[in-house]
């Protein structure tokens, strides 16, 4: 597992014993009976570190998370995400204060405590006391004294320890850092800088609707609100005036340049941001999605946005349209390494060997898209990945299938010229637009099925 493991045995020790000998009042007082935020964050973090389970999966499946109120769930998400965003740094920062490796669950509790102290500005007494309580509630009382002593030292000495660390480097799994060399010299560090911050909330607004007054317009036409904004509370949400879509995610569908009345398929459609763009541009859209639960979410979005779209629950590699199509958007399932700002867990869960199965699936979808298009029909292939295997290497695969390349022109990306590669592909990453709050990492390329 490339999740940082084990602090090496360190010379200095905060606590010689795992008992509460010498512990402060925080370690001695009775545990609070409930703290849903930290309980859920603890489960999420353990799910990622110990079981490679996505953060969202724990949130969806855990009975405790489902029963919690929205604010507790959101706070738990934020806390676990902060620990995961800085997982490498926090692991290293804890090292000098640990004499030996604690059991995994205790390490998870310490990481949450340290994240609160070093990144979330939680007052030290609260971060330390709630971690001690958490351990007690979870049957780990023998480690309460250790947690108390370690976190009290992190509170006082941790900021100085952080100053000596290369946080950008530590917070990206080493294999990913190395793999991003294909993006150019120094780009891995620029990306890491972008990944250090929580993503803002971006929305795409229906052409005939107004953006919420508090949103800021971005150069590409998306609208941006501060990180942590709850989209459902914004004016216009219930009326379907807009949908959630990162500024970079809005670019591939735009580059398909659909014309009113064209017959278009969106082959991997849920939750529906790109379908909404195609339908709003006047295309006659068929949306294919193989996951029934995700298709339900897609349908809710399309109904809220009052769009007319044909939806089909199917594996796109086995689906055939009634007649050849004018255009296809293939937003293929991928490693999602471009979405690390929103999903810091994804960076730590993915392994290099996962890319093989993903690229096989992408090639199967490319071949299926080729069969569905009319001669002269066009395809935009997109992935929210920063990996060469899922981007440039798939262009080579598409050409082998029989597509010809149709490079994007500078005029099509005039509002974001830095995203156009010399080959005529789209490439964004979290280090772009640093002054505006960054964007997700996307790759896209356009092809024609020759006549
Ligand atoms: C990257 S997401 C698509 C995001 C979507 N285009 C949007 O903009 O909202 C990929 C989606 O493709 C679906 N999917 C994966 N493989 C598929 C296949 N073979 N056929 C149809 N859908 C598939 C996944 O369930 C997932 O919902």
For residue 74, give the CATH number of its domain: 1.10.940.10
Place of tokens 């509170």: 155
Whether residue 334 lies in the annotated active site: no
Q: Does ipTM top 0.90? A: yes
- Residue 187 in any domain: the answer is no
Q: Across the beta sheet with 242-244, what order do the strands follow? A: 216-217, 223-225, 201-205, 242-244
Phi first, then psi, for residue 310 (nearest 5°) are: -85, 125
Domain match, 218 and 164 both: no
- Residue 337 in any domain: the answer is yes
Asked if residue 315 has its Cβ within 6 Å of ligand 1, the reply is yes
- Residue 376 in any domain: the answer is yes
Domain match, 376 and 287 both: yes
pLDDT per residue as tens, the chain (451 positions): 446 654 333 333 333 334 344 445 555 566 667 899 999 999 999 999 999 999 998 888 888 899 999 999 999 999 999 999 999 999 999 999 999 999 999 999 999 999 999 999 999 999 999 999 999 999 999 999 999 999 999 999 999 999 999 999 999 999 999 999 999 999 999 999 999 999 999 999 999 999 999 999 999 999 999 999 999 999 999 999 999 999 999 999 999 999 999 999 999 999 999 999 999 999 999 999 999 999 999 999 999 999 999 999 999 999 999 999 999 999 999 999 999 999 999 999 999 999 999 999 999 999 999 999 999 999 999 999 999 999 999 999 999 999 999 999 999 999 999 999 999 999 999 999 999 999 999 999 999 999 9
Measuring from atom 16 of ligand 1, which residue has the nearest CA?
A: 333
Question: Max alpha carbon distance in the chain (Å)?
Answer: 80
The number of folded domains in the chain is 2
Count the alpha carbons within 13 Å of 53 in the hemisphere toward its beta carbon.
16
Domain match, 142 and 280 both: no
Domain match, 285 and 386 both: yes
**Strands 325-331 vs 263-266: parallel, antiparallel or unpaired:** parallel
Domain match, 103 and 207 both: no
- Residue 19 in any domain: the answer is no
Do the beta carbons of residue 267 and residue 290 sit within 8 Å?
no
- Residue 293 in any domain: the answer is yes
Give buried/exposed letters for 340-359 (b at 16+ CB in 10 A, else e): bbbbbbbbbbbeeeebeebb
Domain that holds residue 43: 25-170
Domain match, 424 and 317 both: yes
Asked if residue 390 has its Cβ within 6 Å of ligand 1, the reply is no
Given the residues 253, 384, 413, 416, select the one marked as catalytic: 384
């Amino acid at each position: 597992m490339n999740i940082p493991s084990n602090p090496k045995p360190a010379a200095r020790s905060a606590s010689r014993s795992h008992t509460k000998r010498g512990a402060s009042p925080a370690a001695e007082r009775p545990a609070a009976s409930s703290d849903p935020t930290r309980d859920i964050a603890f489960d999420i973090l353990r799910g990622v570190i110990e079981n490679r389970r996505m953060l969202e999966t724990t949130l969806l499946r855990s009975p405790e998370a489902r029963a919690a109120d929205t604010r507790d769930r959101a706070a738990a998400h934020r806390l676990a995400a902060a620990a995961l965003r800085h997982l490498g740094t926090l692991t290293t920062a804890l090292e000098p204060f640990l004499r030996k490796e604690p059991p995994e669950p205790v390490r998870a509790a310490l990481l949450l405590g340290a994240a609160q102290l070093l990144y979330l500005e939680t007052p030290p007494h609260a971060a330390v006391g709630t971690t001690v309580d958490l351990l007690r509630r979870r049957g780990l009382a023998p480690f309460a004294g250790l947690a108390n002593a370690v976190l009290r030292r992190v509170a006082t000495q941790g900021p100085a320890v952080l100053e000596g660390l290369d946080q950008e480097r530590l917070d990206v799994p080493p294999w990913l850092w190395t793999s991003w060399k294909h993006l150019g010299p120094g780009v891995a560090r620029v990306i890491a800088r972008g990944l250090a911050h929580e993503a803002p909330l971006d929305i795409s607004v229906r052409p005939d609707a107004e953006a919420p007054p508090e949103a800021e317009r971005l150069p590409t036409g998306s609208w941006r609100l501060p990180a942590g904004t709850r989209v459902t509370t914004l004016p216009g949400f219930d009326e379907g005036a807009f949908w959630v879509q990162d500024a970079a995610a809005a670019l591939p569908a735009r580059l398909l340049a659909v014309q009113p009345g064209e017959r278009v398929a969106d082959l991997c459609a849920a939750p529906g941001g790109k379908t909404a763009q195609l339908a709003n541009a006047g295309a006659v859209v068929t949306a294919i999605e193989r996951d029934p639960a995700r298709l339900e979410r897609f349908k809710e979005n399309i109904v809220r946005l009052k769009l007319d779209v044909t939806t089909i629950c199917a594996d796109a590699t086995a689906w055939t349209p009634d007649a050849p199509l004018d255009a296809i958007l293939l937003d293929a399932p991928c490693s999602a390494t471009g979405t690390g700002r929103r999903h810091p867990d994804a960076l730590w869960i993915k392994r290099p060997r996962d890319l093989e199965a993903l690229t096989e699936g992408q090639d199967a979808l490319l071949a299926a898209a080729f069969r569905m298009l009319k001669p002269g029909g066009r395809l935009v292939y997109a992935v929210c990945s920063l990996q060469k295997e899922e981007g440039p290497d798939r262009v080579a695969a598409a050409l082998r299938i029989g597509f010809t390349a149709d490079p994007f022109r500078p005029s099509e990306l005039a509002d974001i010229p830095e995203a156009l590669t010399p080959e005529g592909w789209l490439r964004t990453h979290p280090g772009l637009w640093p002054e505006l709050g960054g964007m997700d990492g996307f790759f896209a390329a356009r092809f024609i099925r020759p006549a």
